[in-house]
Amino acid sequence: MALPIASRAAPLGLDLVGELHRREPRFAAMGMVMLMLALPTAFAALVDTRMVAGVGVWIKPLKFQASLAVYLLTLAWFAAYLPAGVRDTRWYRWYASAVVALVGAEMLWLMGASVFGVASHFNRDGGFLEAIYPVMGLFAIGLSSATLVYGVLIGRDVRSPLSPAFRASLMLGLVLTFVLTVLVAGFLAGGQGHFVGEARTAARTVPVLGWARDGGDLRVAHFFATHAMHVIPVFGLAAALLLPGRQGVLAVRLFAVAFVAFTGFVLVQAARGLPLIG
């Protein structure tokens, strides 16, 4: 049975940061910047007591720093599975640099809003931040497109040494991350906020996750959408190890369909004003 992980991808070893940088230096560097920014942001969240919509003013950039770090470092790891030679092409270098620049612009927007103590998302104050909100949405689509590009390139690589099941899981997980995230985020952006129903006024949340317990919380579907790039490949790795070629690919496809259905169900449930956890 073919190995689920390509032989050209170096082992994890002890130097994870160095390995990520070797695979994709731009994404790895920006991912580490996000992690480093999280330290002063967390300190600011402790000492700055200002609130926006009932939440600490620095919580949103802190969450985005964590999620963008995971996103970029995952892409850096997956870069080793791209077709041979792609990372050395001019178009790829320019494209990866553009994604990094868009991440930087998004973070500048988020932290700027926190500095001034105003909402970054769903801002209806008629000022500058409301005017650039649609632009930031386009930037978010641009930086998210990296998963689509990676998924298509990996899926079309007929010479890939990856096992069929694992390659299928990478392709589906990455492409679905882009598709589901854009759809769910677009639905979110068209409304008045994250919460639907009783959550608008109650806003009681599940500990740690911060999801609403009363009413619908559209962020739950957004969370699952953005993590298709992790959940489906993990399943694909297990399928590649436990099942023969075609059966493994079939299992991955069925799991991907189930994941899409679950994400859609969670979105509809929240839109109806129902919580994920009662």
pTM for this structure? 0.87
pLDDT exceeds 70 at position 247: yes
Residue carrying structure tokens 């599940």 = 206
pLDDT exceeds 80 at position 127: no
Q: Is 273:220 a contact under the CB 8 Å cutoff?
A: no
Q: At 175, list the tokens.
A: 């492409």
Torsion of CA 101, 102, 108, 111, to 10 degrees: -130
Using one digit for the tens of pLDDT, what is the confidence trace for 26-46? 999 999 999 999 999 999 999
Using one digit for the tens of pLDDT, what is the confidence trace for 143-180? 999 999 999 999 999 899 999 999 999 999 999 999 99
User: Average pLDDT of 101-124?
Assistant: 85
Q: At 65, list the tokens.
A: 């720093």
Amino acid, single-letter form, for residue 260: V
DSSP 217-231: ETHHHHHHHHTHHHH
7-11, 138-142, 148-152, 247-251: segment of lowest average pLDDT? 7-11
Alpha helices in the chain (DSSP H): 16-23, 25-47, 59-78, 90-116, 128-155, 164-189, 219-226, 228-242, 245-271
User: Average pLDDT of 188-205?
Assistant: 58
pLDDT exceeds 70 at position 193: no
pLDDT of residue 120: 74
Q: At 240, list the tokens.
A: 């590649």
pLDDT, the chain, mean? 86
pLDDT exceeds 70 at position 251: yes
Distance (Å, whole) CA 52 – CA 36: 24
pLDDT of residue 192: 59
Distance (Å, whole) CA 54 – CA 18: 40
pLDDT of residue 213: 52
User: Average pLDDT of 250-275?
Assistant: 93
pLDDT of residue 231: 98
pLDDT of residue 1: 46
Distance (Å, whole) CA 165 – CA 169: 6
All structural domains of the chain with their residue ranges: 17-161, 169-278
User: Average pLDDT of 179-187?
Assistant: 92
